[in-house]
Structure 1
C-alpha cells in the first residue's frame, strides 16, 4: 500500500508532543511542520517533524505515511474543517497570521483543537460548504497537558497561589508589589492570545471554575470560558487591563512576548512544552510545578463514563450535538466530561482533541491512514514517550477501548 499524505493544523498547545521542537530552529519560528513535502507559502519558514514526536512515530509505521501540521490556533482549525477557511491557503510562519493550513486541498484531513466542539462550532460545520459531502464531525481526546504561567519578573522562582492567579487575571491586583511573596514591583503586564485558542478556552475555564464568586475578583466580576480571551473578560481586555494588556498569536507568540526585553514584569499562559522549549521562567501554582505534570509511570486515568458521546461543550455546559443528522453520526463527537477530574496536583490543565470528518475521507488507503493517525494516541506499542508536562489519557482500559471503537466506526 502506497504512503498517504495527511494535512492538518490548528491547536498550538500540543505542538511539541505532536511535531517536536524543530519549529523553533528557523527565524522566524515555523508554523508549519511537515514531512509531506509541502511549503508554508512565499518565503515563510518551514520545519520538519522531529524524531521522538507522535507524528514521527506515526510516519515510522509500516506504510510510511506522511503528515503536515500548521500551528494556527484551534479556531482557525475548526473554520477550515467547516469550510469558511480554505485549508490549501498558506500556513505562513509566526511573523504573520496564517491564511490556511498549506494543505493539498481546500478541506483538511484533520485538525487539532484544545476547545472541544460547541453548539456554535458544530452548527457552523452543518451550515458550511463541507457538510453535504462530509456529513459529520469525528472528535476524540488525545492527550492532557499543563498550562503554565510564563513570567518575566526578576524573581526566578516565582510561586503563586490560585487566589493570586485570580487576583492578577481579574485585574483586582495590577502591581507586583501587591502580590505577596513575588519579590517584584511595577505594573503587571498580561500577555494574552489574540487568536481563537483552545488554550485560552482551557485557561479561562480554569479561571471561571476557580475564581468566580470568590473574594479574589472584583465585585460582580465573572470569567466566561471562551476560546477568545478578550471575550472571556467582562468588558474585554482593554477594560480590565488597559495598557497592561499585550496581545500575541499562538502559544509560541505568547512566550516570545513574555520573554521580550520590553515586557519585563509580564505573565502569559501557554502550554508548558512551549515554555520549556523557549527556556522561559514560569510560576509554580499552589506549590506545584507544571513541568512535572504527567511524569507518573501510567497515563492519566479517566473512567469510561467520563467520555461522553454526541455532546458538545458550551462554556461550562454540556449539551446535545445540534442538527438533524443521525444519532450515530452525532455520537462520533466524543467529549471528556468537564466535571471529570484530572488526577494531578498541578491545577491548570487542558485536554486536547483531534477532529475530522465522518464521511468523504477518500480511498480505503487514505481512510486507513487517518484511522492510524487518530489511533496512535491509544496504541501503547507504537506511540512515543511524551515530553515533560503532558500525559496520555488511557490509564483505564475501557476508556481506551471506547475511543478506539469510535476511530474504527466513525472515520469512513
Structure 2
C-alpha cells in the first residue's frame, strides 16, 4: 500500500500491484535510481500488450519494486524476481556463478546536493578530492578554507556539514564511492567501493526518496542522488570538477558526453563503469543501470527481453524527459546480439 501511494504521488502508474492469484506479471526489483524510467516503460508495455483492448489482462504488466541495487541482485539470484536492476556492474564470474546475463538499460548522472540558506542549483562547486575529504570527515565545516578556495564568491555559513549517505545496499552509493576512490587514495584504501561501505561520518537514509527527503529536511546538509530525482525534488545540486579540470553542469549534454566515452564492445558482459570519464564536457559521476536476467531462455525470460526490447525501441524520449541518457542505437544492437548469443533455450 505504501508503494502504491508513492507511485501515485510520483505520477507513475504500474501495470499490476493488486492481482488475482492466477495473474503473473513480470516481476522486477532493484535500483531506485532507475525506478522512474522503469515505471514509465512498464506503463507503455502494458498499453502495447493490450493491443487497444478496453480491458487489459492483469498478467501482462510489470511489477517492479525499488528496493535498491543490492536487493535486486539478491532477488534475481534467488529467482524471486524475473529480473533485477542494479547500478553496479557484476563481473563475468559473478554472472556465471548465478547463471545470469547482464546488459545496460539506461544511464544517468549522480549529483551532490546541498541544503544551504541562499544557495540555489549550480552555485556551489566541488572537486573530487574535496568531496572525499568531506565524506571522510576531514572537512567538517562549510567555512573550511578548502571549500572557500573553489567558491570564493559565495558566502557559506560557519556551520557544521551534515553529511548524509545511503544506508541501504545502493548502486548509487556504489558509483559515488567509486568516484571518491578515484579522486582520493585515502578513500580507496580506508573505505573502498561498494553498495554499502563503513561510512566514516554522517547519517544514513533509505533509498533515493529517503536521501532527497533527508537533505531537504536537514539544514547545512550534503548528500548525493540521481539527477532527475534532484530536479523533481527541487534540491540544490552542485557542480563537480571533471577530469579535464572543468566544473561541469549536470545535464543531458554532460551525461551524454561521459556516456560517449564508454567502449562497450570491449567490455565482457557489459561490465564497465562510467565514473571520471575523459572529455572536456563530460560530467564525472555518471552511472549505468544494468538488467540482470536468469538463464536459460524460458517463456518468462522471453517476456522480460520483450519488455526491454520495446522499451529500447520506443522509450528513449521518455528516458530523456526524466533526465536519463538512453542507450544509443549501436549499443541497443550490441545488447540484442548479446541476448541472441547468451540466452539460448535450455542454455
**Counterpart in the other structure of 1:75:** 70
Counterparts of 2:161 and 2:133, CA distance in 1: 11
Q: How does 1:219-234 map to 2 (within 5 A)?
A: 222-228=190-196, 231=197
Q: What's the counterpart of residue 305 of structure 2?
A: 371
Q: C-alpha deviations, 1:158-181, integer Å up to 9, x for none?
A: 422214223212222110011213
Two-structure CA RMSD over aligned residues (Å): 3.0
Matched position secondary structure for 1:148: strand
Paired positions, count: 297
Return closer, same or farther for 1:377/1:394 CA change in 2, 3 Å cut-off: farther
Q: How far apart are 1:292 and its partner, in Å? A: 4.1
Q: Does 1:288 align with 2:225?
A: no
Q: Alignment partner of 2:235: what SS? A: coil
What residue is the counterpart of 2:44 in the other structure? 57
Asked if residue 255 in structure 1 is aligned to residue 212 in structure 2, the reply is yes
Q: 1:383 to 1:119 in 2, by over 3 A?
A: closer
Q: 5+ unaligned residues in a row in structure 2: which ranges?
A: 1-22, 52-59, 242-246
Match of 2:332 in 1: 400
Secondary structure of residue in 2 paired with 1:61: helix
2:287 is equivalent to residue 350 of structure 1: yes
Equivalence map 1:74-113=2 (5 Å): 74-83=69-78, 107-113=80-86
Q: Alignment partner of 2:192: what SS?
A: coil
CA distance in 1, matches of 2:215, 2:161: 11
1:138 equivalent in alignment to 2:105: no
- Identify the residue that residue 34 of structure 2 maps to in structure 1: 14
Shift of 1:376: 3.5
> What is the rounded CA distance, in whole Å, between the counterparts of 1:341 and 1:295 in structure 2?
10
Write the distance in 1 (CA, Å) between the matches of 2:86 and 2:266. 17
- 1:388/1:107 Cα in 2 relative to 1: closer, same or farther (>3 Å)? closer
User: 3-state SS of the aligned residue for 1:390?
Assistant: coil
Residues 189-210 of structure 1, C-alpha deviations (whole Å, 9 max, x = no match): 1111111111110000011112
* TM-score normalised by the chain length of structure 1: 0.64
Query: What is the CA deviation profile of residues 260-282 of structure 1, one whole-angstrom value per residue up to 9, with x for unaligned ones?
Result: 1xx21011111011112211222
Q: If each structure's helix is expressed as a fraction of its own residues, which one has the higher value?
A: 2
- 1:294 and 1:388 in contact (8 A); partners too: no
Q: 1:303 to 1:119 in 2, by over 3 A?
A: closer
- 1:261-272 counterparts in 2 under 5 A? 263-272=218-227
What does residue 210 of structure 1 align with?
183
Quick check: 1:12–1:250 contact (8 Å CA) kept in 2? yes
Structure 1 residue 7, shift from structure 2 partner: 0.7
**Maintained 8 Å contact 1:288/1:345:** yes
Of 385-394 and 340-349, more deviation after overlay is shown by 340-349
TM-score, normalised by the number of residues in structure 2: 0.75
Q: Which residue of 2 aligns with 1:37?
A: none
- The residue aligned with 1:389 is 323
Gaps of 5+ in 1: 20-52, 84-105, 310-332
Greater mean deviation of Cα atoms: 110-119 or 140-149: 110-119
Alignment match, 1:22: none
Residue aligning to 1:50? none
CA contact (8 A) 2:174 2:194 kept: yes
For residue 384 of structure 1, give the secondary structure of its aligned residue in structure 2.
Answer: helix
Structure 1 residue 275 corresponds to structure 2 residue 230: yes
In the other structure, the counterpart of 1:323 is none
> Per the alignment, do residues 60 and 6 of structure 1 end up closer, same or farther by CA in structure 2, a change over 3 Å counting?
same
Query: Do 1:145 and 1:293's aligned partners in 2 also have CA atoms closer than 8 Å?
Result: no
SS in 1 for 2:238: strand
Shift of 1:367: 3.9
Q: Aligned equivalents of 1:202 and 1:299: distance in 2?
A: 14
Preserved CA contact (<8 Å) 2:103 2:270: yes
Deviation at 1:77, TM superposition (A): 0.8
Shift of 1:16: 2.0
